[in-house]
Amino acid sequence: MGLLLAGLVGCGAPASPDTTAAAVQRLLDRRAGAVLDGDAVAYAETSAPAGGASAGTDLGRLRAVPLAAWSYRVTAVRRDGDAATVRAELRYRLDGYDRAPVTAGRTLRLTRTDGRWYVASDRPAGRSAQQLWDQGAVRAVRGGHSLVLGAGQSEETLRRYADLADRAVPAVRAAWDGDWPGRVVVLVPGSVDGMAALLGASASAYRGIAAVTTGETGGGEKVPADRIVVNPDAYGALGDLGRQVVLTHETTHVATRAHTSAATPLWLSEGYADWAGYRGTGRTAAQAAPELRRAVAAGDRPAELPQDADFAFSGDAARLARAYEGGWLACRMVAGRWGEARLNEFYRAVAAHGRRAGALETALRDVLGTTPQKFTADWKAYVADRLG
């Protein structure tokens, strides 16, 4: 048994590796066409006879997903007689939402009958993340500014998410003056385990996290798509205000994506998203920063702005909360002292630096007319004043 890039060794078959590889690619091209057309008969014709009964079910999982593109590119094949394992790159695009195709690694098991190849299974490759349809039939609900896709969720539940997203988009537009499409895709799996699988991560790191946005930093304008991925367990435990703040926070990450880079510290990207989320809610600093308030009351005042390591999901929950609250208060201070327009300018200036080294110092000097030392001292005084 051998591994060949884009080819098959014959194992007694008369066809050359190139000819057989081309046949496999044509099979996957037909399968992709059937997915785009929603053609259950054509899809079943590409499926292994033993799995034909489930082929329609597999395609049915995708029926509600608004696809503008779906294709496979074979990258490697391992052949063993009339069976083969194929590594492929799946590229798909959601109609009206994705600027370019999203790429996902897949492993397909193939069988050969009467000289023809058929797909027996199609799964995430190696450590690749699951796609939502890997978890079951997908339901879709469209909002005015949103597309909500769910697995294991009722249409009524998904409609509530769409309503929240439709309120989040205008709220973010009012806060962030940058250009962005003004629409979001929200993925709602059935559990925290489903959320973790969509992120290719362990569920233990996300049990207390209500939602995340894929690719929050470093992607810039070339990233084809952002997804807000919800943890229904943690999200469901929030009150009405908390749910809205979380979804507005995550929508802010989508909006600021093109102006968030490796130079952007997490206290700024997460603090800004919280600032946009709480903006206009009337929540006081003490109400929105309970963990930091308790620390200040206990005499444990922060000595510096939150570090990136403080935002680790796998760390201490109280430390994580204090990091978010500290970043939010820093952005709140900038908006209150220098104005919201200057806060946005500062955010963009930090990202534009490209590298972390010197980014804050330069942006603080050029946009806010201050230094890192003075800014930190002002922030510490602001925290003590608002929470003391």
Report the percent of the chain where pLDDT is more than 90.
Answer: 83
Whole-number Å distance between alpha carbons of 180 and 201 = 28
Whole-number Å distance between alpha carbons of 279 and 245 = 9
Residue 8 near residue 79 (C-beta atoms within 8 A): yes
What's the pLDDT band for 6 if we cut at 50, 70, 90?
very low
Residue 178 near residue 255 (C-beta atoms within 8 A): yes
Q: Is the pLDDT of residue 96 over 70?
A: yes
Give the pLDDT score at 10: 34
What's the pLDDT band for 212 if we cut at 50, 70, 90?
very high
Whole-number Å distance between alpha carbons of 231 and 188 = 7
Q: Is the pLDDT of residue 131 over 50?
A: yes
Residue 386: strand, helix, or coil:
helix
Residue 118 near residue 48 (C-beta atoms within 8 A): yes
Whole-number Å distance between alpha carbons of 211 and 178 = 23
By mean pLDDT, which of 50-54, 70-74, 120-124, 165-169 is the weakest? 50-54
Q: Is the pLDDT of residue 220 over 90?
A: no
- Owner of token pair 């003004």: 182
Residue range 256-272: average pLDDT? 97
Give the pLDDT score at 217: 42
Residue 226 near residue 253 (C-beta atoms within 8 A): yes
The tens digit of pLDDT for each residue in 42-59 reads 999 999 986 544 555 689
The tens digit of pLDDT for each residue in 145-162 reads 999 999 999 999 999 999
How far is residue 335 from each of residues 44, 164, 228, measured CA to CA in Å?
Answer: 58, 25, 26
Whole-number Å distance between alpha carbons of 234 and 347 = 29
The tens digit of pLDDT for each residue in 307-345 reads 999 999 877 899 999 999 999 999 999 999 999 999 999
pTM strictly above 0.75: yes
Edge-to-edge strand list for the sheet holding 228-230:
138-142, 146-151, 184-188, 228-230, 211-213
Residue 260: strand, helix, or coil:
coil
Residue 125 near residue 105 (C-beta atoms within 8 A): yes
Give me the phi and psi of 362, to 5 degrees please: -65, -45
- Beta-strand runs (E) in the chain: 3-4, 67-80, 83-94, 102-113, 116-124, 138-142, 146-151, 184-188, 211-213, 228-230
Give the pLDDT score at 58: 86
* Domains, the chain, with CATH or none: 3-128 (3.10.450.50), 131-259 (3.30.2010.30), 261-388 (no CATH)
Q: Which of 18-32, 48-62, 92-106 has the highest mean pLDDT?
A: 92-106
DSSP 285-320: HHHH-HHHHHHHHTT---SSPPPGGGG-TTS-HHHH
What's the pLDDT band for 79 if we cut at 50, 70, 90?
confident
Q: Find how far residue 70's CA is from the centre of its chain.
A: 19
What's the pLDDT band for 219 if we cut at 50, 70, 90?
very low
Total number of residues shown for the chain? 388
DSSP 61: T
Q: Is the pLDDT of residue 374 over 70?
A: yes
Q: What is the mean pLDDT of the chain?
A: 91
Give the pLDDT score at 18: 63
- Of 228, 235, 240, 243, nearest to 208 by C-alpha is 235
Give the pLDDT score at 7: 33
Whole-number Å distance between alpha carbons of 334 and 343 = 6
By mean pLDDT, which of 8-22, 92-106, 269-283, 359-373 is the weakest? 8-22
Give the pLDDT score at 121: 94
What's the pLDDT band for 14 if we cut at 50, 70, 90?
very low
